[in-house]
Amino acid sequence: QVQLVESGGGLVQPGGSLRLSCVASGSIFKINAMGWYRQAPGKERELVAAITSGGSTNYADSMKGRFTISRDNAKNTVFLQMNSLNPEDTAVYYCNAVIVIPGAYYGMNYWGKGTLVTISS
């Protein structure tokens, strides 16, 4: 079984920063793209940022310049550095990864359970 476990969420004041981490564990042959999504109350889940195994990144427009995604392939970990946070960033942040398990021909999509980020004074 494959698991994604997020950490680093919490309560922070507007203008503050947080760093989220997500570790993938289990029966893993290869991890392709990894990414972060978020879902605010009453809204649909949306892409925050994604990163390929080679390090190419993609960001939602509203996160460009404020958020930075990175990964440590040796540790099967993806990070999200979030700066200049505002109340509109309040959401549950979910880790996502496309993972190839041993014996499989293609990768499958896996999700973490999410970590809550609350921006409030």
Quick check: 80 and 5 in contact, CB under 8 A? no
The DSSP line for 36-53 is: EEEE-TTS--EEEEEE-T
Residues in the chain, overall count: 121
pLDDT at 107: 94
**CA 114, CA 118: separation in Å to the nearest integer?**
13
pLDDT at 9: 96
Between 15 and 62, the higher pLDDT residue: 15
pLDDT at 96: 98
**CA 72, CA 1: separation in Å to the nearest integer?**
21
* Per-residue pLDDT reduced to its tens digit, 19-39: 999 999 999 999 999 999 999
